[in-house]
Amino acid sequence: MNIYKVERVDSPGYSEAYEMVVVACDKRFAELLARLRSRDFKKAKLSVTEIDLTQEGVVFVSYISD
């Protein structure tokens, strides 16, 4: 299994998901899982990036706004 960051390429609307981290066997399945798990990703244009587990780094930062 690998870890992938799936993010929307199009501009999300207010209060819509725009990025998620997915555990999957390959990029294609990571995209499929993202589309199945979030209605905000269902028809969106997506970018899938494999996370390199041999290097330290920050994968995801989330902010809450008013």
**47 touches 7 (CB < 8 A):** yes
Q: Higher model confidence: residue 57 or residue 49? A: 49
The structural domains of the chain, with segments of one domain joined by +, span 2-50
pTM above 0.95, yes or no: no
pLDDT tens readout for residues 18-35 = 889 999 999 999 999 999
Q: How buried is 60 (Cβ within 10 angstroms: 0-12 exposed, 13-18 middle, 19+ buried)?
A: exposed
The secondary structure of residue 34, as a DSSP letter, is: H
